[in-house]
Amino acid sequence: MASAHADWWKGSVTYQIYPRSYQDSNHDGIGDLNGITARLPYLADLGIEAIWLSPIFTSPMADMGYDVSDYTDIDPSFGTLADFDAMVSRAHDLGLKVIIDQVLSHSSDQHPFFQQSRMSRDNDKADWYVWADPQHDGSPPNNWQAIFGGCAWQWEPRRQQYYLHNFLKEQPDFNFHNEAVQEWLLGTMRFWLERGVDGFRLDTVNFYFHDALLRSDPPDYRKKDKPEWNPYYMQYHLFSKNQPENLPFLQKMRALLDEFDARTLVGEVGESHHAVEMMGEYTTGHRLHMAYSFEMLGFNYSAAHFRGQIETFFSKAPDGWPCWAFSNHDVVRHVSRWMPHAVSQDALAKQAGALLLSLQGSICLYQGEEVGQTETALEYSELTDPQGLTFWPEDKGRDGCRTPMAWEQAAANAGFSDARPWLPVKAPQALRSVDTQLDVDGSVLEFYRRMLRLRREHESLRTGDTVFQTTDEPILSFVRGGEFLCVFNLSADPHQLDCAGEAILLGEGATLDNGSVQLSGNGFAILRL
């Protein structure tokens, strides 16, 4: 259960809900707030401490809510403000905190402020977005690329200028160099704090400011044997994001949250260069409470990789705090990503859960992770995600991890909705429904419940220091808080390791005998020293 003390977030476990795909309550094939409210007892029983809702604000849904047209209202597809208030109240009654997504770097092009800004160079909102004159040949002001493909600049004939969009052209970037923009955005956050939310997940937190001189980004200094599937990743983004002005603004946000009791900020650092170091910088000096990056959301499943991320963070930012995740709404689900290292899906799902929930830092679980859910294979005709629609088949987009939650295997659409869902529920996902695992000995879900309880009961597993042991691949071994030894065999082959301690949790196929632990493929052990 969530704690009332100010530092409840430190070492906590947050469960990410993708609202469109969690539970449909009004029979339209789209998940909604009332559906989430109905499932809150399940989440409280699971043993998490907070929920994070991906965007629920009014939006044309060009990027599924990450294009906001009204920052202080609920999109009708999800419900109403009254539905939101009821959900927050019910969550709090169950001891759960509520964190909501804040997409501050950009708005929808349908937002009234952008509609006004694009009309002329001399209206009240003329400087609220990033505008720039063309070069003498009519080309954009610099070489900045958009993450969803193509140039990051879009021509507006009424102003005879380009506007910046780091994502879709329907997502124009706010001009954070304008103090009025900063204050207005902080005001929208205050609106939700006064409504009772316990914190914010900050989308693309390192994108807020751009280089005021509009200098071009240099090429990526890392050698590439061939072009990237997305040209965006061929640049080193020194100027289009990651600007030093971000840091004072983060302090302003922190000051706002400090006006309220027991609230938290967790930021997404979207960066492919030195992301862990940036996480540390953003969580020290009274800025964010926590930050996460994509460093553990990739395909690397090695002891050196996990050790490197954790040691780098705490060596660079001993006073900072990370938030680790293995899956979210933007990446291939980790059970599918890491299958080359697995004995079976269930074995990998349990090991990944034990590893994640043993790490020093706060933790975020993505919906369905607790049942070992896998990526959904979709046809091009089934896609909604602009990333997949643009880069197919080299990149199939993010819809595969966003398909609806599977609740009841035998029900229509696995119990998500009795109407045609916005994305299909396919047989492999329905097989991993909650009802086939709840209270079933040996299931992935029951293992997660056990592991969450273990973490909750032992402060050493939440906030204790980490000391790594000297081991060779594929063994990852570390001590938490001087109390627990955590050992993981990150391969499908059996391994043996000499170690001492009393077993408090042994993965399937792991045995402890006479000072050594035998680890089957994907085996793991947590020992009390």
Respond yes or no: is residue 203 known to be catalytic: yes
Whether 201 and 100 have beta carbons less than 8 Å apart is answered as: yes
In this structure, which amino acid lies at residue 410? A
Biggest CA pair distance of the chain: 79
**3-state class of 528 per DSSP?**
strand
- Distance CA(189)–CA(89), nearest Å, equals 19
**3-state class of 440 per DSSP?**
coil
Torsional sign, CA 169, 175, 181, 185: positive
For residue 314, give every residue at least 6 positions away whose Cβ sits within 8 Å of its Cβ, in sequence order, or none: 320, 360, 466
Q: What share of the chain is helix, strand, coil (3-state, %, to 5)?
A: 30, 20, 50
**CA angle, residues 424, 426, 428, in degrees to nearest 5:** 150
Respond yes or no: is residue 217 known to be catalytic: no
Q: In 1-125, where do the E strands start and end? A: 13-17, 50-53, 57-58, 70-74, 97-102
> Of 259, 261, 459, 473, which residue is the catalytic one?
259
Question: What b-and-e string marks burial along 254-287, b requiring 16 or more CB atoms within 10 Å of the CB?
Answer: bebbeeeebbbbbbbbbbeeebbbbbbbbbbeeb
Whether 391 and 397 have beta carbons less than 8 Å apart is answered as: yes
Spacing of C-alpha 353 from chain mean position: 16
Shortest CA distance to 324 belongs to which of 342, 306, 338, 340?
306
> Of 203, 295, 375, 399, which residue is the catalytic one?
203
Whether 297 and 230 have beta carbons less than 8 Å apart is answered as: no
DSSP one-letter string for 394-434 = TS--SGGGTSPP---TTSGGGGT-SS--SS---HHHHTT-G
- Distance CA(98)–CA(91), nearest Å, equals 7
Whether 182 and 252 have beta carbons less than 8 Å apart is answered as: yes
What stretches of 174-234 show up as alpha helix (H) in DSSP? 179-194
- Distance CA(291)–CA(246), nearest Å, equals 14
Q: Catalytic residues, which ones?
A: 203, 259
